[in-house]
Structures are given as C-alpha cells and as structure tokens.
Structure 1
Amino acid sequence: MIKRAVWVHGNAVVAERPKDLTEEIRIGWGSKFQLRAGTRNWFHVSIPTPVLIDDVRPKLARVFVLFKTSKPESGGVFIGSTLEKLHVYDGHNRVAAITGMRTGNHANAIDSANTWEFDAPLSIFSGLGLSMEISAAQVGTDTTPQPVEFATIGADFV
C-alpha cells in the first residue's frame, strides 16, 4: 500500500551539460530541451523525500518520468531521441541503474514506458534524485537537433 506519493513539475529538470543543447526552455507544462545530433546528455531532478511516515522510514517502490522524445524514422533507420538510462540516487549514492531504450510520447499519463517499479523497495536515507540519460541520434550528415520534454516526475513510497 502506498504511504506517500510525491511529484515534482517537469520544469525542475536540469541538463548536466547545457553546451550540448541547442535550446533549453521552461514552459508552463514542463521543460523542453533540444539535443545536438550525435550527443548524449544527463538530465537531473530531485524529489522531496519523506524521512519518516508514522515513525517508520518509508521505502521507494516506484518512480515515474512523464516524458516525450522524438520518434522519427528515415528509410527504416531510427533518427530520434531516446531515454537510454535511469539512475536513482540516495544523496550521492546510486541505488539503482536501469537501462533499456524508451522513446515516444509518454508525457500525458502514467504508462508502462514511463514507470519503473522496484521488485524490492529501496531504502532512501537522504534526498532522492533521478538522472535520465537521453541520446540524440545522428545519421550521416543530418545534424537536426532532437527534442526531449519532461512534464512531471514522481515517486511512490511504501
């Protein structure tokens, strides 16, 4: 049973290397970034973390990243942006590293592509941070920037 659900708005997301972006915009509904073709960038967000609930330290059961990446193809070759990795941090300690390509529009509602559930809930002793690695494909000489958008990010504690 969920004891606490915590969410932050997508405009709280920051890029690790802004120089690898062609554009970074905070909008009423979230954040939008344009990645230079052929680059990867990490995007970070902190989530308010309950220390105690009813005198018990809660555990992290699942996280949500409502996002949108581009998904174009050219001649059967994928040329868009992709969420490649999700790292979960407890303060400066990485407590989970998840890989697996996810792409498309998953910004409007919770679905299986924007939800990560932990088989064994994770103990979080300090601040919860999520880091998402996004890659922007480049095919041949096409240097078209590739977008990623973040609408909201959440966590469920048990």
Structure 2
Amino acid sequence: MWWLLLGTLGFGALSALVPGVPIEAWLGGVGALVDQIGIWPVAFAAALGHGLGKLPWYALGRWSLGWPWMRRQMEKPAVATRYESLVDWTERHPGWGQATMLASSVVGLPPLAVFIVVAGQLRMSPLACLVSMTVGRTLRFAGILGAFVWAIDLFRS
C-alpha cells in the first residue's frame, strides 16, 4: 500500500499548487482503502504533500516584495512603517504566527492559501510554517478521512 501513501503525498502537493483541485475528493476516494493502512498515515501523507505544495506560494509572497508595484507601495512611509512593525512583531512573537498557521491549516480561517503568502511576506520561518501546516492539515485530513470511513462503514452494514 506504499503506492497509496505516495499517491496521496503527490496529490496533496498538486492540490496545494493548483486552485480547484480538491484534496478532499482524493481523500473521499481513498477512504475505502485506509482500513489496510490506517487513517493517520494517509492523513499525514496528504498533509505533508499539501504543506510542501504550499511552499511555492510562500516563496511567491517573499519574492513579491521585489515586484515594481510592491516596491512603489513600500516607498510610501505609512505602508513601510506598518510593514516593518508587522515583521518586527512577527519576529518577536513567532508563536502567534505559527498558531495562526496551525489554525488556518485546521479550520481554514484565515484561508491557508492567503496566509501562506502573507507568511512569506512577513519572513516567517519556512520550516516552522511547514511543520505547523503539516500538523494542522494532518488533524483536518484525519477528520475528513474518519468521516468518510464512518460513512462507508454505515453503508456497508
């Protein structure tokens, strides 16, 4: 069943990179197969793939600060001051950024696709972001898989 874990990791990455490719649909499909492996390994594989797939969005956030439009915005004293104060606050209180990343990964508020770009702009640690996303998404995906397994078991009886 290694192919199930590898496929789930890959589909998780694809889902994170391409808007409109729902990992939940994949999880629903593999819900019937997790009996042989277990919910947690499949949820972890999906979460790790999803987290790795979000890292290019993090990089986009980091790189976007060099774009001409963003540079013009950052030349405005009010914008530059606010940005630097947010970066400073995030660096002094890394736990809040990671807690927000974790919450976003579990419940989707703020939307993870948006927050990962902001995390890049605020220069949060990419490794800490990956760990928070993986933990949060593992919990989320285990819940989704558990619901699918429960529904499948209900219809089998």
Scaled to the shorter chain, the TM-score interval is 0.3 to 0.5
Higher helix proportion, which one?
2
Q: Which has the higher contact order (CA 8 A, sep 6+)?
A: 1
- Larger % of strand: which? 1
The normalised TM-score by structure 2 is: 0.33
What is the TM-score normalised by the length of structure 1? 0.33
